[in-house]
Amino acid sequence: MKNIYKYLLETCERKGAGHIVLIDPDRKNDGSFETYVEIVNNSGADAIFIGGSLMMDGQFHERVAKIKALSNVPIIFFPGGANQLNEHYDAILFMSLLSGRNPQYLIGEQVVSAPIISDLKIETIPTGYLLLDGGGKSTVEFMSASHPIPLNRTDITEAHALAAQYLGMKLVYLEAGSGAQTPVPTETIQTVSEKVDIPLIVGGGIRTPEDAEKRVHAGASFIVTGTVLETSGSSSLMQELARAIHVKEQR
């Protein structure tokens, strides 16, 4: 599929918002991808994010290739590091961790990755990544050595989102962290969406269709779910999430 960013925008316009499923191709999930991707294909989800903070063995790239072969929706790289790059992605979120002050994740990994991405000819989607404090120490916080934005400081989130837009980013990703105790508040989403002109991705701690739908109505263009689906393994939950997120199709 060509021009994944255009596809995402068209999906959002047609359905009201998009549902993206996050899959971590770690060894703990080995052997379950076939079933999981089949559930994604049948759920109405719009894309798959592939990503994880660590590569625990040497089979990461083979698992991505398997997911790509099985999936009926685009495969988008949600990067944890340049060593996870390969030719199997349809696109990459070319992210900068703008909420942090660690230069490695502001620009270092991007510089290392850029020549590889060019050589592989992967579509890039520039994304401003903002980590919010969803309760507990997230993997992203630990691995990036960066502090999350407090949930009650909507002004700080808003300022970073505006900076992402002015830097030319095409998306802003509001992330509460994998398995967050508290998802990004609807008030924060609404405030940010009213200030920026680029789509918002919201993920972390979204466990129910009601949680997802509220965040779409608050201004989220894309909802990312991962942990809740991995732990439940429920095809019906994935379908319910997609239906709740696709607010225009409810009419």
Report pLDDT digits (tens) over 149-179. Answer: 999 999 999 999 999 999 999 999 999 988 7
> How far apart are alpha carbons 216 and 95 in whole angstroms?
22
> How far apart are alpha carbons 174 and 75 in whole angstroms?
20
pLDDT digits (tens, 9 = 90+) for 196-215: 999 999 999 999 999 999 99
What pLDDT score was predicted for residue 56?
82
Task: List, in sequence order, every residue forming a beta bridge with 175; answer none if it has no partner.
Answer: 131, 203
Which regions in the chain score pLDDT beneath 50?
none
What pLDDT score was predicted for residue 222?
98
What pLDDT score was predicted for residue 174?
98
What pLDDT score was predicted for residue 231?
67
What pLDDT score was predicted for residue 183?
95
> How far apart are alpha carbons 217 and 22 in whole angstroms?
21
Task: Check if the beta carbon of residue 122 is closer than 8 Å to that of residue 167.
Answer: no
Q: How many domains does the chain have?
A: 1
Its domain, for residue 186, covers 4-250
What pLDDT score was predicted for residue 68?
96
**CATH number where 76 lies:** 3.20.20.390
What pLDDT score was predicted for residue 118?
98
What pLDDT score was predicted for residue 152?
94
What pLDDT score was predicted for residue 251?
65
Residue labelled with tokens 């002050």:
101
